[in-house]
């Protein structure tokens, strides 16, 4: 049985043809999808594929362009019902032999072009696929018809804080007292 994990989906840069694109196809089996789903906190990952090509870009650089397609199931943040989302995105990575230098200092801002990666000996297709999926998954999935969140802990129609316990009411009272002192 052929391996379907990360090691099976790495391209050695030295083996890539600079004259013609190298096709890319990653389609994890059920066990691998289950593992990815667990790692990303998904209820399930029904389908996942990553198809495209790696082509030379100039003399020493490479460009990966692929289509990520997935069907994910997550719990609704409001009702915990399963929410199914279809994801289809184009993923682009530019592997540069001489990437732009990072600015000096302890804090680094995200570069404008987030497709740039330093070129190493390998292009890890599996890692790019999982990263792109993680970025594409909805952060707060909601089921159709799920109620909007209400952060109030008080019963409907009731004041969240009784007037005598409301700190702003106390400040208003203080303000009124001070205004009364000015008029005397």
Where would I find the beta strands (DSSP E) of the chain?
10-12, 22-26, 44-57, 61-75, 82-96, 116-118, 122-124
What is the overall mean pLDDT for the chain? 86
- Distance CA(146)–CA(78), nearest Å, equals 6
pLDDT on residue 184? 58
CA distances, 66 to each of 1, 52, 83, 130 (Å): 25, 4, 26, 13
Of 52, 13, 45, 10, nearest to 28 (Cα)? 45
When pLDDT is cut at 50, 70 and 90, the band that residue 164 belongs to is: low
- The yes-or-no verdict on residue 113 having pLDDT over 90 is no
**DSSP result, 81-125:** -EEEEEEEEEEEEEEESSPPPPPSSS--PPPS-TTEEE--SEEEH
Report which DSSP code applies to 14: G
pLDDT tens per residue, range 42-73? 999 999 999 999 999 999 999 999 999 999 99
Q: Of 184 and 77, which is predicted with more confidence?
A: 77
- The yes-or-no verdict on residue 83 having pLDDT over 50 is yes
- Distance CA(53)–CA(49), nearest Å, equals 13
Alpha carbon 19 to chain centroid, angstroms: 34
- Distance CA(8)–CA(124), nearest Å, equals 9
> pTM of the full predicted structure?
0.74
When pLDDT is cut at 50, 70 and 90, the band that residue 1 belongs to is: very low
Domain ranges within the chain, ordered by starting residue: 6-136, 152-184
pLDDT tens per residue, range 4-30? 677 778 999 999 999 999 999 999 999
């Amino acid at each position: 049985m052929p391996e379907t994990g990360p090691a099976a989906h790495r391209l050695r840069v030295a083996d890539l043809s600079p004259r013609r694109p190298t096709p890319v196809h990653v389609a994890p089996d059920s066990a691998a999808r289950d593992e990815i789903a667990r790692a990303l906190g998904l209820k399930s990952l029904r389908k996942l594929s990553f198809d495209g090509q790696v082509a030379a870009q100039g003399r020493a650089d490479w460009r990966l362009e692929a289509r990520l397609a997935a069907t994910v199931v997550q719990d609704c943040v409001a009702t915990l019902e399963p929410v199914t989302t279809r994801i289809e995105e184009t993923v682009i990575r530019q592997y540069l032999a001489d990437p732009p230098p990072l600015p000096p200092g302890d804090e680094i801002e995200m570069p404008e072009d987030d497709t740039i990666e330093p070129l190493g000996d390998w292009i890890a297709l599996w890692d790019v696929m999982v990263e792109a999926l993680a970025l594409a998954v909805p952060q707060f999935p909601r089921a159709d018809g799920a109620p909007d969140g209400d952060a109030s802990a008080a019963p409907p129609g009731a004041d969240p804080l009784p007037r005598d316990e409301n700190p702003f009411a106390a400040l208003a009272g203080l303000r009124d007292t001070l205004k009364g002192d000015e008029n005397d």
